[in-house]
Structure 1
Amino acid sequence: MSRTRWRLGLGATALLTATAVLPAPAQAATVTDYTLTVDPAAQGAAIDDTMYGVFFEDINRAADGGLYAELVQNRSFEYSTADNRSYTPLTAWTVDGTAQVLNDAGRLNERNRSYLSLSAGSSVTNAGYNTGIRVEAGKKYDFSVWARAEAATTLTVTLQDAAGPLASARQVAVKGGWAQYRATFTASRTSSYGRLTVASPAAAALDMVSLFPRDTYRGEPNGLRKDLAEKIEALHPGFVRFPGGCLVNTGSMEDYSEASGWQRARAYQWKDTIGPVEQRATNANFWGYNQSYGLGYYEYFRLAEDIGAMPLPVVPALVTGCGQNKAVADDALLKRHIQDTLDLIEFANGPATSTWGKVRAAMGHPRPFHLTHIEVGNEENLPDEFFARFRQFRAAIQATYPGVQVISNSGPDDSGTTFDTAWKLNRDAGVDMVDEHYYNSPQWFLQNNDRYDSYDRSGPKIFLGEYASQGNAWKNALSEAAYMTGLERNADVVKLASYAPLFANEDYVQWRPDLVWFNNHASWNSANYEVQKLFMTNTGDRVVPSKASLTPSVSGPITGAIGLSTWATSAAYDDVRVTAADGTALFGDDFSGDASKWTHTGTGTWAVQDGRYVQTDATAENTMVQAGDPAWHDYDLHVKATKKSGKEGFLVAFGVKDTGNYYWWNLGGWNNTQSAVEQASDGGKSTLVSKAGSIETGRAYDIDIKVRGRQVTLYLDGQEWGGFTDDRAAEPFRQVVTRDAATGELIVKVVNAQDSAARTAIDLGGAQVASRARVTTLAAAPDAVNSETNTPVTPVTSTLSGVSAKFTYTFPANSVTFLRIRQR
């Protein structure tokens, strides 16, 4: 597309130098006026080089089938129905002839227990991940296998798809006990549907059947998929947090043994993941699949080193999280885990002559990795139990390695009883840094830009280790960008921040949204990735104080209809009444007849039974039925509810506008461990208030909700349970200014998350600046989503002329804009 001139405000013109132009929805006809004033003589918070980083967890097949470049799935025949009900030891394999998977004394080693016994004249074929094994014409692929055969035999190894061979076949001579054999393919065609076949004319045993692209990231053997690792590198992250997440503190904390099982949902422990890959354990992943640990702690440290990032490992504290909520009471086991953590630090930092430094050196890295931070625990919902164990970890680490900072956490939410208790414990104990996690709606991120403005400057620092706005549309990324201006403004408190999760394989998704999407042949950046990259590559060294005007707003009372729902629970509802503030009856249903007043908008099965409205499916989620007038306001809602069976309690909705916008009181949520009021906005949910508590099966509860203006009070069995006032503005215009010491530039960062353009009078406080500035703009329709074939959210670079100490710039609708202005 040819270069185009486009008017960008009053007295300023930009020359677009990118090949793309801003989409039409971003060039809205309506304009809102703002002011932005900068004080270049004042100093704001210093911003550390490690401010922004990435968080890697093996979720959505992010490791095997993803960042780990191995092309063979279930290469060691260790898949098991104990890991996943659909698995067998031959998952991803097809046998032609006769073969069986054995687990006996003939195994390769104690950690790699299953192997394939292939009968004479038989073959076995692997289907890889996604549609198959991906190969590219002219590139090399390294095959290896551990094999044994009592009588000499020659394995024939082929790579093909439905159209025929993808490379010349290879012959591998095998004789004697277990040994590793290698061969190399050069692909003759490109295909995403490849299959790897190993055939033998005589009986043979096979294990660790592997195929790696030669072209891994930085050419490393047992390496990383190049395009995915390069997307991490392109962010220039200051740190890499690994390996989780929920898989760190879920499952058994025990050692592998015959008694406990060898791959039975064991918590992630670093010693399982180092050394020769054929001697590493395999394990059931918390997210529902098997993990090979071919991508282990050594590889994580190498990745961090290669991209110039700080490694930040997370170790379990013997309190499970992510819905399991169990504290392990075993002093000997606790001491072993504490010692494992000390050993980890020695593995990372010890000299090559130390016990664990020697292991690192033997793997090919005699130099230390310079570990400075380590996190203990992740999202524990039992703060007292967690913190008692955390103290012991911290004391041992500080006694042996006083230079290593130990990070704690505040549970899985941005507020609530667990959060408050955890923060008090952390604050009272003088913890250095606390990891906060939250996944909220775009509206929440627009409403809470000032979250860290009021945090104690002398208290623990913040590691925002996981956050996202529950979607990969541009409106989600816009809200995150607006929030990040608040993170930078508070860089004296918020020291580390990472979006989560990082990767998603489009055919194996357990969690949305995700930063980078991929399949077996391509990867693409989400809109959220483009925002993260823009901030991470234009951070600056120090905040320059600035102020901006706010968007005029009009706020009325909470309005909406009512709803009933359940989540993995069967429940019965009765005696539903809605009464106006003046006592006028607006709605009533005692279910003495039918359910014609209600509209079923969710899942599940509803029916009137014995004068109650019953949802009978104890497995269905979000079973919403709605009734009433969306224009209702200032009313009282009464419901009688009884749990019949299932995992949770009741969901009583109010302020219901449609299926994606409402409030509900979630009683007995989170596996019946707590209750909360959640607000849904465009489908994304945020927690407004929460408390610990559970719902009893078979007991009838009286639920009352009083709505007055924007204030809500909630009553359970006649007693006030809590309340909230939802009066925070979702401000769409946010900004922060930083200075880049190396270039002498002011970086003016503006987010305009609304459908009107923002004509902004910018006052640089008398600063002497160059007349031209570099501009990077991200703009798109709010619902735009990047995909493999279409990336509407793409940065556009331009040059702005007419810059001075005072100038006007019009920021496009639904945009993120960075102006780099050089000071003279």
Structure 2
Amino acid sequence: METRPTGSRAPVGRRLRPRLRLAVGALLACTVGVVPAVASGEPAAEPTDYTLTVDAAERGPDIADSMYGVFYEDINRAADGGLYAELVQNRSFEYDKADNDSYTPMTAWTSSGATAAQVADDAARLNERNRRYLRVSLAGGSKEFRLTNAGYNSGLAVRKGERYDFSVWARTDRASGTPLTVSLAGAKSGGALADPLRITVRGDRWTKYTGTLTADATRNDGRLTVGAGGPGTLRLDEVSLFPRKTFKNRPNGMRPDLARKIADLDPGFLRFPGGCLVNTGSHQGYEAPDFDRRRSYQWKDTIGPVEQRATNANFWGYNQSYGLGYYEYFQFAEDVGAMPLPVVPALVTGCGQNKATDDPALLERHVQDTLDLIEFANGPTSSEWGAKRAKMGHPKPFGLTHLEVGNEENLPDEFHARFKEFRKAIEAEHPDITVISNSGPDDSGPVFERHWDLNRQSDVAMVDEHYYNSPAWFLENNDRYDDYDRKGPKVFLGEYASRDNRFRNALAEAAFMTGLERNADVVRLASYAPLLANEDYVQWKPDMIWFNNHTSWGSANYETQKLFMNNVGDRVVPSTASGTPSANTPISGGIGLSTWATSAAFDDVSVTSADGETLLKDDFSHGDSRWTPASQRGSWKIEDGAYVQSDTAAEDTMVTAGDPKWHDYDVRAKATKKAGKEGFMLAFGVKDTGNYYWWNLGGWNNTRSAVEQASGGARDTVIEDGTKITAGKEYDLHVKVRGRQVTLYLDGEKWGSFTDKPAEPFRQVVTYDDKRGELVVKVVNAQDTQARTRIGLGRARVLGDTARLTTLEGDPDAVNTATERPIEPEKSTLHGVDEEFTHTFAPNSVTFMRIKAKLPAS
């Protein structure tokens, strides 16, 4: 029987695009047996037929409560100006050129009305970690000194009726004291946003002064001004304006809307404080002879009173205040019901900084710091670090069970030598703590393989994998973990994402996540990354949650992650589905020649079909009329009977030739590097400028060679090795394409081969929710046609004839923004559900069915 959905649908006004109207209309029409039509009046494509069979009598792997979590890193201004609720930017005048070339200690501040106002770093400082302060020589008389902060984005966002706690550390040498006036005003209107606050600073010792401002208007361009009158020298530091309303009303807490969106994911774990910022920079601490602003993230810098915490140059190009520190991370994990999972540096840098620290004393100190961290999290109040936790307001232990050492190290042997020292010390004192290793920055390749070899040899409990790939890669690699060793280390997929925030990216990720759940006995933890992005301070995209100073919104990826995270289930119920007939088509397309920051010459290019027919033959004796530039980059011309690209600065200079319909052929060419940083590329399977394969010889500054697949403009590595290219030497290249099998020959010798997986758009997984007694059928249809699916529930006994349906659907290019949310979940009820029924899944959709059912004993 065919199911019939009823229930809530999205408002009509939100679905104005023709493709979105078609998606909804197609689903509704198909369920009542009517063939839908596109807006032009032409018939829609026929649905693709599938079967989905559930083997309810078998039991799949259990799924841990912590399966899906969140990875938090201070990137894209995720902390200061983001999740950390502080409204004042550069509150302690610590900004520096080490943080960003454009920074000064007065960044975000303006001042007027003083004889002199300068940032000082001398013996009068607030403390050794908060070194800089503002020293003001007041003019006296009627002239008032004014110090104004611009906040983040357009300013300080305030809401009418809400309270904001002001604080400042100050001292004055004026015997009668120095009066301060604290005010809020709009940047554009200049109008007051709250009644001013009046404070008198007394005494020449650092003292904290506080007060509260209540906003009487809602504005996003607020400015905080501290005014001071009279003569004398005034010193100011740690100027703060903090919303009284934070998540869970925590002092020094989190911005409510951002924290709520994270909490709504129901995360099983919180990985913090980041990835690259953890293991980059100096590993020295404040005891180092020089005050190093580029330290790796060290947890002891981030606890205690905020005015005593360090600031640091963030790896991502700005200053991080550490107002949001380890105590707040642990507390936030507890507040959202997540397992805390901190990451500590392993003294081997990653993220392109390939250095290992050979200092036994420094290694010993960091190992001890990690043991102290575990004590801070779990120790009794009678212990040194447990007492510090209790003093901060949390006598009860946080219950730390997992800890990761290192992040994306490109030096596997050096990393594992140090990782063993951390692991040995942790397991000796805390055998109940799971110590997590990693596998480098990529999903494959020599570094990845070496990491995994060492992890297996050491019987590591869990390995963190990271990768950011194209949508095609995620559609092609649903089975990635099917063949992992069930008795080997478990996988923590700590960072992954498709390279954009369009719905097509979320669809590909959803398809991949069905494979993660199917392999829940191997993949124990998984988190999309990065989590947050301030729209005015973006270092990395895509991101799950976007925001500015006054609002936030979940991306299409967020909505997909939330749907999976809120509907995990307790165990997998084995199931199978038929594939898409059109997915397993042969590799087809024209050919191309390219360079990257290199000058190279190509000659004797030919393409021959599998049955010997010559499709193209060009020795460039008659010009270059067969070749079309894929871009305007590079300088191509015929020189000495060869086709030469001479610009050594131009990148991605590809020219193409041939027919996009070509398949099953041999490509041959001769190539010579003339000058530059890298080698050359021979492309095949070229459909257009964003979709092709190329054999990249001498890439990455001539350190390795690889076949890369481009999909939608994003490239993923298929296979690679360490081949380097010698300038002036002519190389013979031969690429043999048969179906989806590719074999490559360099100078007559086999260089490598691969079978490219098809991008399967129809994916599914089924889980069972023990508490609710429900089968959760999860189906991804990442294509432009409907998926008419015959669903068989096997020996499951269906209780009732309805199911709850939650669907995400829309234009694959749709993007959620601050003002539009084209991708949001829609709920409805399915009728006609039985042990066997037919349902048509909408084009470009993620669908979760919850079916009341009793499973046979397994």
Given the two structures, how large is their TM-score scaled by the length of structure 2? 0.90
Q: Pick from 132, 135, 149: which aligns with 1:117?
A: 135
Match of 1:87 in 2: 103
User: SS at 2:148's partner residue?
Assistant: strand
Residue ranges of structure 2 left out of the alignment (5+ in a row): 27-43, 139-143
**Residue of structure 2 equivalent to 1:159:** 184
Aligned-partner Cα distance in 1 for 2:722–2:4: 56
Q: Pick one of 513, 516, 520 that aligns with 1:487.
A: 516
The residue that corresponds to 2:262 in the other structure is 232
In structure 2, the residue matched to 1:274 is: 303
Give the Cα–Cα distance (whole angstroms) in 1 for the partners of residues 308 and 786 of structure 2: 59
Shift of 1:446: 1.0
Aligned to 1:188: 216
Q: Is structure 2 residue 356 aligned with structure 1 residue 365?
A: no
Aligned to 2:2: 11
User: How far does the alpha carbon of each residue in 1:112-152 deviate from its partner, in whole angstroms, 9 at most, with x for none?
Assistant: 11111123143221111111111111111111111111112
The answer to whether 1:106 aligns with 2:134 is no
Per-residue CA distance 1:373-417 (angstroms, 9 max, x = gap): 001111111111111111111111100100000111111111111
Distance 1:602 1:110, change over 3 A: farther
Equivalences for 1:609-628 in 2 at 5 Å?
Answer: 612-617=644-649, 622-628=651-657
Alignment partner of 1:454: what SS? coil
In the aligned structure 2, how far is the partner of 1:671 from the partner of 1:531? 38
CA apart distance, 1:439: 1.0
Letter of the 2:239 counterpart: V
State the shift of 1:487 in Å: 0.7
The one-letter code of the counterpart of 1:271 is: K
Distance in 2 of aligned mates of 1:276 and 1:521: 27
8 Å contact 1:544–1:737 — kept in the other structure?
yes
* Secondary structure in 2 matching 1:498: strand
2:173 aligned counterpart, secondary structure? strand
Query: Shift in Å at residue 358 of structure 1?
Result: 0.9
Q: Do 1:591 and 1:613's aligned partners in 2 also have CA atoms closer than 8 Å?
A: no
Separation (CA, whole Å) in 2 of partners of 1:342 and 1:269:
13
Residue 26 of structure 1 corresponds to which residue in structure 2? 23
Paired residue for 1:682? 712
- Contact 2:164-2:243 within 8 A present in 1 as well: yes
Q: Which structure 2 residues correspond to residues 397-796 of structure 1 after superposition, within 5 A? A: 397-553=426-582, 554-566=584-596, 570-581=597-608, 582=612, 584=614, 586=616, 588=618, 597-599=627-629, 601=631, 606=635, 612-617=644-649, 622-631=651-660, 633=663, 634-638=665-669, 640-642=671-673, 644=675, 650-670=680-700, 673-692=703-722, 702=731, 704-709=733-738, 710-715=740-745, 720-726=750-756, 728-769=757-798, 770-796=800-826
1:181-226 deviation line (CA, Å, top 9, x unaligned)? 1121111111111111122224311111111111111111111111
Residue by residue over 1:530-554, the C-alpha shift from the partner in whole angstroms, topping out at 9 and shown as x without a partner, is 1111111111101111111111125
How far apart are 1:166 and its partner, in Å?
Answer: 1.2
**In structure 2, how many angstroms separate the alpha carbons of the residues matched to 1:257 and 1:417?**
38
Do the aligned partners of residues 197 and 576 (structure 1) sit closer, same or farther apart at CA in structure 2, a change above 3 Å counting? Answer: farther
Give the distance between the partners of 1:145 and 1:397, measured in 2 at CA: 41
Q: Is the 8 A contact 1:575 1:638 kept in 2?
A: yes
Residues 521, 658 of structure 1: CA spacing in aligned structure 2 closer, same or farther, 3 A cutoff?
A: same
Q: Do the aligned partners of 1:574 and 1:589 also contact (CA within 8 Å) in 2? A: no
Structure 1 unmatched runs, 5+? 1-9
Report the more deviating stretch, 121-130 or 205-214: 121-130
Tell me the number of residue pairs that the alignment of Structure 1 and Structure 2 aligns: 804
Structure 2 counterpart of 1:573, which letter?
A
2-side partners of 1:615 and 1:456: how far apart?
A: 48
Q: Give the aligned partner of residue 3 of structure 1.
A: none
Deviation at 1:562, TM superposition (A): 0.5
Q: Does 1:284 align with 2:313?
A: yes
Segment drifting more, 776-785 vs 608-617: 608-617
Task: Find the residue that maps to 1:370 and give its secondary structure.
Answer: coil
Q: CA deviation at 1:268?
A: 0.8
The answer to whether residue 270 in structure 2 is matched with residue 252 in structure 1 is no
CA–CA separation in structure 2 for the residues paired with 1:498 and 1:426: 21
**Contact persistence 2:48–2:786 (CA under 8 A):** yes
SS at match of 1:155: strand
Residue 160 of structure 2 corresponds to: 137
- The structure-2 alpha-carbon separation of the partners of 1:361 and 1:673, relative to structure 1 and needing over 3 Å to count, comes to farther
Work out the CA distance in 2 between the residues paired with 1:654 and 1:104: 64
| Distance change in 2, residues 1:403/1:716 (3 Å) | same
User: Aligned partners of 2:805, 2:195: CA distance in 1, in Å?
Assistant: 51
Q: Give, in whole Å, the separation in 2 of the partners of 1:787 and 1:268.
A: 32
8 Å contact 2:71–2:272 — kept in the other structure?
yes
Q: Secondary structure at the match of 1:540?
A: coil
Deviation at 1:715, TM superposition (A): 4.9
Contact 1:587–1:628 (CA<8 Å) still a contact in 2?
no
**What amino acid is aligned across from residue 200 of structure 2 in structure 1?**
A
Question: How far off its partner does 1:473 sit?
Answer: 0.8
CA distance in 2: counterparts of 1:577 and 1:200, whole angstroms? 79
CA distance in 1, matches of 2:723, 2:287: 37
| Match among 311, 318, 321 for residue 347 of structure 2 | 318
Counterparts of 2:747 and 2:281 in 1: how far apart (Å)?
Answer: 37
- Tell me which amino acid in the other structure corresponds to 2:413: D
Aligned to 2:356: 327
Contact 1:469 1:684 in 2 (8 A): no
Pick closer, same or farther for the CA change 1:258–1:374 going to 2, 3 Å: closer
Q: Structure 1 residue 61 and structure 2 residue 77: aligned?
A: yes
Tell which deviates more after alignment, 451-460 or 14-23.
Answer: 14-23
TM-score by length of 1: 0.93
Shift of 1:783: 0.8
1:805 Cα deviation from its structure 2 partner: 1.1
Distance across 2 between alignment mates of 1:132 and 1:414? 41
Cα distance in structure 1, aligned partners of 2:783 and 2:532: 28
CA distance in 1, matches of 2:714, 2:327: 37
Change (3 A) 1:519 1:217: same
Distance 1:652 1:130, change over 3 A: farther
Matches within 5 A, 1:807-818: 807-818=837-848
Q: Deviations over 1:63-102 (max 9, x none)?
A: 1111111111111111111221111111111122442111
1:340 and 2:369 are equivalent in the alignment: yes
Cα deviation digits, residues 220-255 of structure 1 (max 9, x gap): 111111100001100000000111111111111112
In structure 2, do the counterparts of structure 1 residues 526 and 153 end up closer, same or farther at CA, with 3 Å as the change threshold? same
From 135, 139, 149, the counterpart of 2:172: 149
- The answer to whether the 8 Å contact 2:600/2:679 transfers is no
Match of 1:6 in 2: none
Rounded Cα–Cα distance in structure 1 between residues aligned with 2:212 and 2:815 = 40
Q: Classify 1:258/1:742 alpha carbon distance in 2 versus 1 (closer, same or farther; 3 Å).
A: closer
The SS at the match of 1:468 is strand
- Aligned residue type for 1:245: G
Determine the C-alpha separation between the residues in 2 that align with 1:645 and 1:174. 64
Computing the radius of gyration from Cα coordinates, the structure with the larger value is 2
| Maintained 8 Å contact 1:606/1:616 | no
CA distance in 1, matches of 2:737, 2:850: 47
Residues in 2 aligned to 1:127 and 1:694: alpha-carbon distance in whole angstroms: 51
Whole-Å separation in 2 of the counterparts to 1:209 and 1:694? 55
Q: Indicate conservation of the 8 Å contact 2:605/2:619, yes or no.
A: no
Residues 313-370 of structure 1: per-residue CA shift (max 9 Å, x gap): 1111111111111111111111111111111111100001101111111111111001
Q: Is the contact between residue 591 and residue 682 of structure 2 (CA under 8 Å) also seen in structure 1?
A: no
The letter of the residue matching 2:61 is A
| Whole-angstrom distance in 1 between the partners of 2:621 and 2:277 | 45
Q: What SS is found at the alignment partner of 1:360?
A: helix
